[in-house]
Chains A and B, each alone.
Chain A
Amino acid sequence: MTLPHNLSNTNRRDFLYGLGASLGSVAFTDLLAAEAKSDAGPLAPKKPMHPPKAKACIMLFMEGGPSHVDTFDPKPKLTEMHKQESKRSAGLATGFRFFVGSPFKYNKVGQSGIEMCDQWKHLADPEVADELCNFRGCQAESLNHPEALFHMNTGSRLGGDPAVGSWATYGLGSENQNLPGYVVMTELALPQGGSRNWSNGFLPAYYQGTRLRPKGSPILDLQSPGYKNREHQREALKELSFLNQRHADNHPEHTDLAARMENYELAFRMQTAVPDVIDLGKEPQHLQKMYGLDDPETEAFGRQCLMARRLVENGVRFVQIFSGGWDSHDYLERGHSSRIRSVDKPMAALIKDLKARDMLDETLVVWTGEFGRTPDNNKRGGVYSLGRGHNIDAMTMMMAGGGTKKGAIVGGTDELGAEAVDCVHPIRDVHVTLLHLLGLDDNKLTYFHAGRYKQLSQFGGEIIPELIV
């Protein structure tokens, strides 16, 4: 019974007793129809600490480090200096370095005139563009992918702390007890650092991100093997409940037993709730098309964006989608243009769709990577390689909805895009702001672990008021 401290026996018992007499005594057939009635579980909705701007968050994570100067942050000066020698001493690269101008042209789009490169066709739609808030002031701290990913996802580069989504569900619970409160979707490949990026860290395991896999079973072993049907499963659970109930009767003092029994009931409900929510066939054709499900290039990300909307609509608190391949050290033009094509249409569709359903105001959408990219590069294999290195001093984020400014550019980088110079903030401030929008105060959202109250920002951070309406 090695319970974490905060879930002291007393609290835990309250929760379990709160489930009442239904445990074990209710037939699973009844549960099939019944909604989750328990409102006292660890994931039960909790009151925000202050009136929230956003109820849920969808984070689109571009793994590899998208280049700010080739997406949303134009640097004409860099174009002038293309292939000229760079004497900058930053990052790790040594030897001959040269500046790389962006291969893309830039436009001012929408009423607001925010800037994006010409590869963004759908995000440039005024209906979408004027919802966006581009943040150019963030600075990362780790030059390497896994540490930087850990930092952006968990507030610490060590890879052992709770993820942002874990903190959010810890603070707010989830609106739907039949679905995980924090859902993570990845491309086929896991990002570097793997599941540590959505781990509950030292928070209780209820708050870990649950991966919905793109292929195979969305949650591992969600369904019984093919030769066992649902009737078979129901029968098994009934017999298991019989065995467990007799055991519980012999151990009335042992309260953990009830939690484990309740889990079987919850799992049985999830087996239908999860396939339901991820069944995109229920969406009208035109919407599927809008998300790009009919095009191999956008299908994967489109599915995940559409699923994210369905999940949030069904009460999931935090959804994260990882999309890889942004690490363009070379051949940036084709790399970034292809990556942009694969996310542009789905992301624009997501924003439009949320807006059409009046959900955008209360759903925070964040598009980000783990760091930005350098204005210069070194030769590879003796050739001028047109790509960029890792840059922790400047990056770009795009936000929409959830109380962020509409059609705004916040912060700025220097004329080469080497470093953020205006409205400069470390990652922790972005985290604090994100929690703030969700109605949570980072300084109060703490968990006592290993001798101190820990928080997402580690030691506190600042809200970035410029981002907020």
Chain B
Amino acid sequence: MPTRIFFYLAIACFAIATTTSTRLLAADKPTPTAPITQPDAERLFALKVAPLLKSKCLGCHGEKPDDLKGDLDVRSLAGLLKGGESGDPSLVPGQPEQSLLFSAIKWDGYEMPPKENDRLTDAQIELVRQWIVAGAPWPSDEKQSELRKAEWSVESNEDGLIVKTSGGLADEWTYRRYDPADLWAFQPVKPTVAPDGQHPVDWFLTQRLNAMGFAPTEEADPRTLIRRASYDLLGLPPSPEETDAFVKLYSKNPEQTWEQLIDRLLASPHYGERWGQHWLDIVRYADTGGYSNDYERSNMWRYRDYVIRSLNNDKPYDQFIVEQLAGDELADESVRARKRSDEKAVRQTRLNGDYTPEESEWLTATGFLRIGPWDNAMVKVPEARQIYLDDLVNAVGQTFLSTTMRCFKCHDHKFDPLPTRDYYRMYAAFAGTQMAERPAPYLPTENLEGFEEGKKRVEQLLAYAIAEKNKLVNKRETAARKWFKEHNLEYVSLDKRKSLPDEVKPTRHVGLDYIEQGKLKIREQDERIWTRRLERYESMVQSVYNGADAQVKATYARKLRIKNNIDFTKQPQSTIFTGGSLEAPGEKVQPGVLSPVGLTVPQSDLEDPYRISSDLEGRRLAVARWIAHPENSLTTRSIVNRVWQHHFVNPLAGNPNNFGAKGDKPTHPELLDWLAHNFVEEGWKLKRLHRLLMTSHAYRQANTHPKMKELLTQDSDNHLLAYFPPRRLTAEEIRDSLLMATGELNRTVGGLPVMPEINMQVALEPRMIQFSLAPAYQPSRTPEQRNRRTIYAYSVRGQADPFLELFNQPNPNESCEVRDSAAVSPQVFTLLNSGVMTDRSIALAQRVQQETDRVDEQIERAFQRVLGRSPDSQEKPRMLAYVEKMREYHQQVTPEPSVYPAKITRSLVEELSGRPFEYEEILPVFENYQPDSKPSEVSAETRALADFCLLLFNSNEFMYVY
């Protein structure tokens, strides 16, 4: 067992402090107090005022002595007494009200420091006041240093706690003090106890509720409950039949019926899709690499399916962590064991991909290490490397540790006990991580549907690009031949004439006008794009391998493969980059973990228990095992907080990606700890946790509370969870629910990314990539292929599906800890007017028409399908009248037929000429396309009914889960 080192030594406050000064120094007491004695005032200056001046003022008034803002020098007493350009002294000892310094920090007249973020608290202002009142003593540097050092041996005083870490860049940081409340996340999980016979969730919640004078509210009705549970676990609504059956049974035996429902939902393969989406939000899943080229990551879908599979199989979370962070190292270890430590065989296997299914699964998991946006176009090799590693380190911190690592990359953390040394120790732990597409055999469970058709289409597009390119190349070379002949020179091929002087060869684009030059570039780029796209159909994974940068040298986003001749004994070397700058390497660092967590590295025999071995191999595995350690309080709180969030709409700790001092503190810390502790005790199983949370009364409670009015004033953010908060459906839930209502949803799990129909204007809209335009978006050919769940939709960093984007699908460049759901007007346009919505409304109309001939029954069915209930006595006649009225309307109009172009003309401003030109792009999918039913193909009756269906899809009742 590792030793947990924790540092809150409950040493009483200052032995030397008098009672008066203790009170005076208390930072949380801004009330003006009586003057203090001279020695106390000197201590006050050394310990409090001087550090304040340094951090808040010297940036502009001292650090650059020849560029003092307002001519004011705060580095010395003399400077303050002299004052700035106004001519008045900034400091009048004994007279705070006459001191400009004092009025400025109060933001009374001058506003200093000028940034909201840096503004002094009332308590800090009071400290400065006391110091001025006491005559503003300014002891010598030596004396100040003496006073400060004396204080360092006191671990805990009324100013807070000193946290032991691997050490900051300066002693002031190392020995600074923290409010214990801000350190909650770094403290060990406390095994809190809930009394027997009580549901722990309810017990903890009710404690607080009662303390505030409220009682829990009643239970929601069963119809609400099944919809809530179904969306929560599957991201899909229950079918009308499921709802009816549930409601019936629930009235007889609520507990058993409820538990059976939860078990049934957890056993559904769609559970992994729903919760996989939450994971993909955090890790920033996309099928492309973003930035300039936005290259496809052709096998990334296998990582997406790994996530879904892992969740469906209820893989213990600790294992899930280790696989994603070090799956390749696990695979190596496994091969090594199989091949009796034959290193050559291990190396050989890396290249030929002769892996067992388990090893292959591990490699697939490392897609996590490849998931951030990255492209090295126009970026120098070391910088591209740094961008990758910074992104990776931050992603690891946010995802698993709820720690935003970026915040201590350039300096020691401003608010949390995280030294920049720890950032670079983690950076070093990943420093040998090299990106590569690696061979990894498919598992029998992986879905390989559509490979043949997809590959054929890509080959067709590739052939077209090559043929078009060749036409232009031939034209150019014909002109070149002519030129050589006219100059009585022998023809030299393009490659060979590159090195010739200008005088003895034709111009670079001889024979091509600017339009043809532009086209040639497009076709050449297309050839690269489609060649690359063929990798989709190879059994590879987006993965990593270990190697020192000095060995690997340059890597290019376009083609990433394991380099053959690497000496694996060479260790990567790492340093702190001062200020985060590559050009400013500082102190050398060895790989390690975050020291303030107080959890040492398992099995570490190093002198520093927060360090891990510097060998090239195994660095990530060591970090992963540290993260996945039962006593890693950041990890365990992080995951239970996220799971809570997606059941109860809001997390317990408000910033699931940042547990630091500046994140929201947990509303129910004891509950959070209970859950974290229990989660680990019971084997890191998520399905068990879902069951636990969902069997609480809190999860089953109604959306209202008898004392709603009081609650809205006393607890406007519903932190008490006195009632169940409603939420808007996510983008994916909206689309999936539409398809489910219409009966079009194809429930196949996993496989190649699918291309739903998106707004055609956007699909065909040109989009710049490096040197060229990206190919147009072509939807999948058949409705079955298109109408898969949204998690399988092709996710392109440079081109969002406008429908999903409008409903707040997150930008995959940033980890999304919580989704936005702001209602903006373009959502209305899409929901009312888009082709996608028109098609769904017709599909639903057709579905209910097939079920029954009577319009009133059709209306009834549509209500059931979309809202899960029957229309009431007012709704039914009114909707009937509406459909009738619309039928009359539609009998008078003839919709235009829809057209899908098999070819489009695109236009681009050519960079070399600066002039626009056009070229043709083929869209072979539309040659043999199976569109959805269109308005022009259906009767006026169907269109009228579809108008009504569209209303249901737009209704708030559909859009919200209660």
Q: How close is B724's CB to chain A, nearest CB, in angstroms?
A: 11
Per the bound structure, the CA–CA distance linking A204 and B823 in Å amounts to: 10
- Is A263 touching B761 in the complex (CB atoms < 8 A)? no
Interface membership of A108, Cβ < 8 A: no
Residues 803 to 842 of chain B near chain A (Cβ within 8 Å): 805, 808, 811, 813-814, 817-830, 832-835, 838
Interface membership of B20, Cβ < 8 A: no
Interface membership of B588, Cβ < 8 A: no
Interface membership of B87, Cβ < 8 A: no
Per the bound structure, the CA–CA distance linking A327 and B914 in Å amounts to: 8
**Could you say which of A10, A190, A324, A443 contacts B115, with CB atoms under 8 Å apart?**
A443
Q: Given A2-B818, A256-B960, A324-B768: A233 and B761 within 8 A (CB)?
A: no
CB-CB under 8 A from B703, the residues of chain A are 251, 253-254
Q: How close is B944's CB to chain A, nearest CB, in angstroms?
A: 11
CB-CB under 8 A from B827, the residues of chain A are 263
Per the bound structure, the CA–CA distance linking A210 and B825 in Å amounts to: 10
Please list the residues of chain A having a beta carbon within 8 angstroms of any beta carbon in chain B.
1-5, 7-10, 13, 63-64, 92, 143-147, 158-160, 187-196, 199, 204-206, 208, 210, 213, 215-217, 219-227, 232-233, 235-236, 239-240, 242-244, 246-248, 251, 253-254, 256-257, 259-261, 263-264, 266-267, 270, 324-331, 334-339, 342, 380-385, 387, 390, 441, 443-444, 446, 450-453, 455, 460
Q: Which 7 A-B pairs have the closest CB atoms?
A: A451-B662, A325-B909, A382-B498, A335-B914, A338-B914, A267-B828, A160-B814
A-B contact pairs, 14 of them (CB 8 A): A13-B712, A191-B768, A194-B799, A217-B761, A220-B830, A227-B890, A227-B935, A254-B726, A257-B960, A329-B912, A338-B913, A383-B502, A450-B817, A455-B115
CB-CB under 8 A from A147, the residues of chain B are 291
Q: Given A220-B761, A221-B834: A240 and B895 within 8 A (CB)?
A: no
Q: Given A190-B767, A220-B759: A240 and B955 within 8 A (CB)?
A: yes
Interface membership of B649, Cβ < 8 A: yes
- Is A204 touching B822 in the complex (CB atoms < 8 A)? yes
Interface membership of B740, Cβ < 8 A: no
- Is B828 touching A220 in the complex (CB atoms < 8 A)? no
**Could you say which of A196, A267, A270, A451 contacts B813, with CB atoms under 8 Å apart?**
A196
Per the bound structure, the CA–CA distance linking A334 and B912 in Å amounts to: 8
Residues 501 to 560 of chain B near chain A (Cβ within 8 Å): 502, 505, 507-508, 514
Interface membership of B874, Cβ < 8 A: yes
CB-CB under 8 A from B960, the residues of chain A are 254, 256-257
**Could you say which of B116, B663, B725, B872 contacts A1, with CB atoms under 8 Å apart?**
B725
Nearest neighbor of B658 in chain A, beta-carbon distance? A451
**Could you say which of A2, A259, A270 contacts B823, with CB atoms under 8 Å apart?**
A259
- Is A10 touching B716 in the complex (CB atoms < 8 A)? yes
Nearest neighbor of A217 in chain B, beta-carbon distance? B761
Contact flags B468-508 to A (C-beta < 8 A → 1, else 0): 00000000000000000000000000100111101001011
Please list the residues of chain B having a beta carbon within 8 angstroms of any beta carbon in chain A.
114-117, 290-292, 373, 375, 377-380, 404, 407, 415, 494, 497-500, 502, 505, 507-508, 514, 649-650, 654-655, 657-658, 660-664, 703-704, 708, 712, 716-718, 723, 725-728, 759, 761-762, 765-770, 773, 798-800, 802, 805, 808, 811, 813-814, 817-830, 832-835, 838, 872, 874-875, 878-879, 882, 885-886, 889-890, 893-896, 907-915, 935, 943, 947-948, 950-952, 954-957, 959-960, 962
**Could you say which of A236, A335, A381, A452 contacts B117, with CB atoms under 8 Å apart?**
A452
CB-CB under 8 A from A257, the residues of chain B are 956, 960
- Is A325 touching B829 in the complex (CB atoms < 8 A)? no
Interface centre among A143, A158, A220, by most B CB within 10 Å?
Answer: A220
Per the bound structure, the CA–CA distance linking A165 and B293 in Å amounts to: 26
Per the bound structure, the CA–CA distance linking A289 and B414 in Å amounts to: 57
- Is A451 touching B909 in the complex (CB atoms < 8 A)? no
Nearest neighbor of A322 in chain B, beta-carbon distance? B768
- Is A220 touching B896 in the complex (CB atoms < 8 A)? no
- Is B726 touching A1 in the complex (CB atoms < 8 A)? yes
Per the bound structure, the CA–CA distance linking A335 and B917 in Å amounts to: 13
**Could you say which of B404, B874, B889, B954 contacts A451, with CB atoms under 8 Å apart?**
B404
Nearest neighbor of A251 in chain B, beta-carbon distance? B703
- Is B835 touching A225 in the complex (CB atoms < 8 A)? yes
Per the bound structure, the CA–CA distance linking A453 and B414 in Å amounts to: 13
Interface centre among A215, A221, A329, A443, by most B CB within 10 Å?
Answer: A221
- Is B915 touching A338 in the complex (CB atoms < 8 A)? yes
- Is A146 touching B951 in the complex (CB atoms < 8 A)? no
Per the bound structure, the CA–CA distance linking A222 and B833 in Å amounts to: 7
- Is B379 touching A143 in the complex (CB atoms < 8 A)? yes
From DSSP, what is the main secondary structure of chain B's interface residues?
loop
- Is B909 touching A187 in the complex (CB atoms < 8 A)? yes
- Is A236 touching B823 in the complex (CB atoms < 8 A)? no
Nearest neighbor of B657 in chain A, beta-carbon distance? A450
CB-CB under 8 A from B912, the residues of chain A are 328-331, 334-335, 387
- Is A251 touching B726 in the complex (CB atoms < 8 A)? yes
Per the bound structure, the CA–CA distance linking A223 and B833 in Å amounts to: 6
CB-CB under 8 A from A144, the residues of chain B are 291-292, 375, 377-379
Q: Given A144-B377, A450-B657: A194 and B798 within 8 A (CB)?
A: yes
Nearest neighbor of A11 in chain B, beta-carbon distance? B716
Q: Given A205-B822, A220-B761: A239 and B768 within 8 A (CB)?
A: no
Per the bound structure, the CA–CA distance linking A155 and B817 in Å amounts to: 22
CB-CB under 8 A from B708, the residues of chain A are 253
CB-CB under 8 A from A244, the residues of chain B are 955-957
- Is B951 touching A239 in the complex (CB atoms < 8 A)? yes
Nearest neighbor of A457 in chain B, beta-carbon distance? B115
Nearest neighbor of A448 in chain B, beta-carbon distance? B662
CB-CB under 8 A from B835, the residues of chain A are 221, 225
Q: Given A144-B378, A206-B824, A326-B914: A9 and B717 within 8 A (CB)?
A: yes
Per the bound structure, the CA–CA distance linking A441 and B115 in Å amounts to: 9
- Is B828 touching A264 in the complex (CB atoms < 8 A)? yes
CB-CB under 8 A from B954, the residues of chain A are 240, 264
Per the bound structure, the CA–CA distance linking A385 and B912 in Å amounts to: 10
**Could you say which of A192, A246, A444 contacts B116, with CB atoms under 8 Å apart?**
A444
**Could you say which of B500, B662, B874, B948 contacts A382, with CB atoms under 8 Å apart?**
B500
Per the bound structure, the CA–CA distance linking A206 and B800 in Å amounts to: 18
Per the bound structure, the CA–CA distance linking A220 and B663 in Å amounts to: 37
**Could you say which of B655, B885, B895 contacts A225, with CB atoms under 8 Å apart?**
B895
Interface centre among B655, B768, B826, B882, by most A CB within 10 Å?
Answer: B768
Q: Given A92-B380, A188-B907: A256 and B800 within 8 A (CB)?
A: no
Q: Given A246-B874, A253-B703, A325-B910: A221 and B830 within 8 A (CB)?
A: yes
- Is A325 touching B822 in the complex (CB atoms < 8 A)? no
- Is B292 touching A145 in the complex (CB atoms < 8 A)? yes
Nearest neighbor of A334 in chain B, beta-carbon distance? B913
CB-CB under 8 A from B770, the residues of chain A are 145, 192
CB-CB under 8 A from A235, the residues of chain B are 882, 885-886
Nearest neighbor of B766 in chain A, beta-carbon distance? A189
- Is B878 touching A190 in the complex (CB atoms < 8 A)? no
Per the bound structure, the CA–CA distance linking A380 and B650 in Å amounts to: 56
Q: Given A260-B959, A335-B914: A443 and B116 within 8 A (CB)?
A: yes
Nearest neighbor of B377 in chain A, beta-carbon distance? A144
**Could you say which of B767, B814, B889, B914 contacts A158, with CB atoms under 8 Å apart?**
B814
CB-CB under 8 A from A213, the residues of chain B are 761, 765
- Is A205 touching B811 in the complex (CB atoms < 8 A)? no
- Is A239 touching B879 in the complex (CB atoms < 8 A)? yes
Per the bound structure, the CA–CA distance linking A192 and B771 in Å amounts to: 10
- Is B765 touching A263 in the complex (CB atoms < 8 A)? no
Per the bound structure, the CA–CA distance linking A203 and B267 in Å amounts to: 38
- Is A225 touching B935 in the complex (CB atoms < 8 A)? yes
- Is B767 touching A189 in the complex (CB atoms < 8 A)? yes
CB-CB under 8 A from B716, the residues of chain A are 8-10, 13
CB-CB under 8 A from B811, the residues of chain A are 159-160, 196, 199
CB-CB under 8 A from B875, the residues of chain A are 243, 246
- Is B766 touching A188 in the complex (CB atoms < 8 A)? yes
- Is A210 touching B768 in the complex (CB atoms < 8 A)? no
Per the bound structure, the CA–CA distance linking A49 and B894 in Å amounts to: 55
Per the bound structure, the CA–CA distance linking A460 and B113 in Å amounts to: 11
Q: Given A192-B292, A224-B832, A240-B955: A232 and B759 within 8 A (CB)?
A: no
